[in-house]
Amino acid sequence: MVPSNLPAAFWPAAFCRGILALANYYWLLRIIRRALGLEAHQAARFAQLRYLLRFAILAFVIYLLVVHTGIEVLGLILGLSLLVIVITALAIYMFVTKGD
């Protein structure tokens, strides 16, 4: 059920940000997996450069969404926060149940 007091641009923004957050999380997972396969002195530099590149691209995409498409900023924030809340809740659940 959609609350009527939220602007119409809110829901596409939340969806876009959710997709961006999932893509960002998956990209980070791939970077970490590749870095773990490298030697220690190479892995740190590899991960740092990829992190900065990932951050810059994500910031640019968010900038384009906000400035050029007029997407609601609150929806963007909610989309990202939702993923973080779900990951945190899952981690707490797994800790409490000891992974069962």
CB-CB contact of 17 with 77 (8 Å): yes
Q: Within a 10 A sphere around the Cβ of 33, how many other Cβ atoms?
A: 9
Query: For residue 1, what pLDDT is reported?
Result: 46
Q: What is the pTM of this model?
A: 0.62
Q: How confident is the model at residue 5 (pLDDT cuts 50, 70, 90)?
A: low
Residues 36-89: tens digit of each pLDDT:
888 888 888 888 898 899 889 888 888 887 888 777 777 777 777 777 788 888
